[in-house]
Copies of this chain bind each other. A is one copy, B any other.
């Protein structure tokens, strides 16, 4: 029987996790749920190298859940070490909040877990919903959209494997229910980030990091999720993180020429 590892970055009590568990259940596979024990939003691909990791088993309603005191990326390595044979598929989410744009994707724990799985050679999917209000994702018609399309994407990838050149398929569901589906590339940025200063009761300054959405550019994932309101699929690849090697030829020449002069 095929095995699916289910994880997220919002912790074991997230309604998004419950939905994803149900969605995978429609595909008739073995399901292993292993998630960070506390929410780990914005942990990127971070790993826990300097403290011991503990794994505990919980039962939440009818769902058996393992929790770990680490990050979503730790989950992938923990699952491979603890549960034996690698899973046939890793699914991450459903995140409360979209994961659109390069900026957000590289910071996201949800996508981080999926990218870590891809680095281990395992097909991986990430699911996100464009509202961070738990009341929204629990609306029956929203839950129905997510259940239906998430289970279908899982089934397709289990049947066909990952398409060539694709490491992770990221799926963003719009806030309002729809059956429209599109494929769109990542925008570069989603937020203008800044720190807001406050003062504590002793008069000492502290800061909140927050992001103001920037105007979405047509043709990008941000636009199709937030302006067009479509279910948006985005293929992610790790094979082109190296930039143009020849663009550093001048710098290299200068560093090396200098060496020649220095040794004359």
Contacts and interface: CB of A to CB of B under 8 A. Distances in A.
Interface of A: 39, 41-50, 52-55, 70, 73-74, 77-78, 80-82, 102-103, 105-107, 109, 112, 115, 119-120, 149, 152-153, 156-157, 160, 163-167, 169, 179, 181-186, 188-189, 193-195, 197-198, 204-210, 231, 233-245, 247-252, 254-256, 258-259, 262-263
Contacts of A195: 53, 77-78, 81-82
B44 A43 contact: yes
Contacts of A243: 165-167, 235-237
B106 A45 contact: yes
A52 B207 contact: yes
Contacts of A207: 52-55, 78, 81-82
A236 B198 CA distance: 36
A166 B156 CA distance: 36
A239 B102 CA distance: 8
21 contacts: A42-B47, A44-B47, A53-B206, A53-B207, A55-B205, A77-B194, A78-B195, A102-B238, A152-B254, A153-B251, A153-B255, A156-B254, A163-B244, A166-B243, A182-B252, A183-B252, A188-B239, A234-B242, A236-B243, A237-B240, A240-B241
Contacts of A166: 243-244, 247-248
A196 B54 CA distance: 11
B245 A183 contact: yes
Contact of A42 (B49, B120, B183, B184): B49
Contacts of A81: 194-195, 197, 207
Contacts of A112: 44
Contact of A247 (B109, B165, B209): B165
Contacts of A156: 251, 254-255
Contacts of A210: 49
